Structure 1
Amino acid sequence: MMFPLTGEPLALDLLNTRPAGAGDLIAGPEGLAAWLAVQEGRLGPAGKVGPAEVAAVHAVREAASAALTAARRGEQPPAGALHALNEASAGAPAHRALAWTPDTGLTAAPHRTGTPARRLAAQLADAAADLLTDPRVQDVRECEGADCVLLFLPAHPRRRWCVASTCGNRARVARYYARHTS
């Protein structure tokens, strides 16, 4: 399964799992497992994915979407969205576990308690909190491509499309066609 525009902040990658015309890419355990495999470098190994994990991720995605919509406008996010994100984050508290390996020496890796669904929801809620508290949250943009709803955090202020070679190219072709058919 292909996921559009991965590599943005994790919370945006989560929100982008509902692209226009493609439905919900993480509607079931198979789709969520595939998305988690793509995100393994940021979330760690997925483990078994079932309906509980899907429900937990959907709840975080809905709350993050509502909070981000308000934050992008400089408005107060809905209290229910913030409550849901806080509950998800608190559902699997994190602490650092110290470990020694001969290859890397002393490490302090985050460790979460709770069920797999709660741990996953907490990681994603923390990613949403990171994005929502980032000073650049109002810079998050929706792609200007026709029928595209993907979100991105532009590294360049003139960026207009999620992927220039896809949505940007479609816009350029449409402008060219409009100029030459009139």
Structure 2
Amino acid sequence: MERWAALELASTIRHDGEGGVADELATVQGLEDWLRRGQTLLDGHTPAGEGAVDEELRLRVVEVRRAVRALFARAVSPARPSPPDAHRLMPAARAVARLNATAALVPVVPQLDWPPEGSPDARLSATRDDPHATLLAALARAAIEFLSGPRREQLRACTAPRCVRYFVKSHGRQEWCKPSCGNRARAARHYDRHHRAS
């Protein structure tokens, strides 16, 4: 699974465009939609079939997201965390324990693939046949890989007004998660300067 799945999971909380916060995982249908959109990112670890996604799975995925966002807030410290996280963060030790326990739901075994006309490649193979546990463990392992890897140092909370996303800084001067956030931040600064001068 791609380590970016952790960033995508954290981004299921976003600005709603009207001054509030939207939660893409607020309903079972929202989780189903997110899983469908993230098929390639989730590398086939999504439960399939009628009734495969239920309220219990949704609550468990949301709990993993809480742990991820708590540890993202720790990673960006001493900078401020994303606004929705600032006052309701899961304690870091509990978040670490949650990710570790969830990652351990499905033991993985290294497997060697070596086609006759190619180079050898290693992959991890899950050893349990529970699609819910497989998804949860894959999300937790993606978060562990991201947080223990070199990209953690570039993780930032977007500082644009009303934005609640975390992003990976891709160049030295990047301050916002996307151009529209930069435009909003510049407009807010211009408004503040203009009204302060009046």
* TM-score when normalising by structure 1: 0.79
Is the CA contact (8 Å cut-off) linking 1:91 and 1:114 kept in structure 2?
no
Partner of 2:25: 26
Distance 2:69 2:165 in 1: 12
Partner of 1:65: 69
How is 1:61-140 mapped onto 2 (pairs within 5 angstroms)?
A: 61-73=65-77, 78-96=92-110, 109-112=123-126, 113-140=128-155
Q: Which ranges in structure 1 are unaligned for 5 or more consecutive residues?
A: 1-6
CA spacing shift, 1:49–1:98, aligned 2, 3 Å: farther
Partner of 2:157: 142
1:53 aligns with 2:57: yes
AA of the residue aligned to 2:100:
N
Distance 1:8 1:107 in 2: 18
The worse-fitting range, judged by mean Cα deviation, of 12-21 and 42-51 is 42-51
> Alignment identity in percent?
35
1:155 aligns with 2:159: no
Q: What displacement does 1:97 show? A: 5.3
Q: Which segments of structure 1 move beyond 6 Å, counting only runs of 4 or more?
A: 98-107
What's the CA shift string for 1:79-121, capped at 9, x where partnerless? 2111111110100112245679999998765432142221111
The worse-fitting range, judged by mean Cα deviation, of 141-150 and 18-27 is 18-27
Aligned residues: 173
What's the CA shift string for 1:38-82, capped at 9, x where partnerless? 2111213431311232122112111122222223328xx722111
What's the CA shift string for 1:132-175, capped at 9, x where partnerless? 112342321111210111000111021111111x1112223334
Q: Which ranges in structure 2 are unaligned for 5 or more consecutive residues?
A: 79-90
CA spacing shift, 1:107–1:37, aligned 2, 3 Å: farther
**Residue 145 of structure 1: SS of its match in structure 2?**
coil
Is the CA contact (8 Å cut-off) linking 2:4 and 2:41 kept in structure 1?
no
RMSD value over aligned CA atoms? 2.9
Is the CA contact (8 Å cut-off) linking 1:71 and 1:137 kept in structure 2?
yes
Distance 2:118 2:38 in 1: 23
* TM-score when normalising by structure 2: 0.73
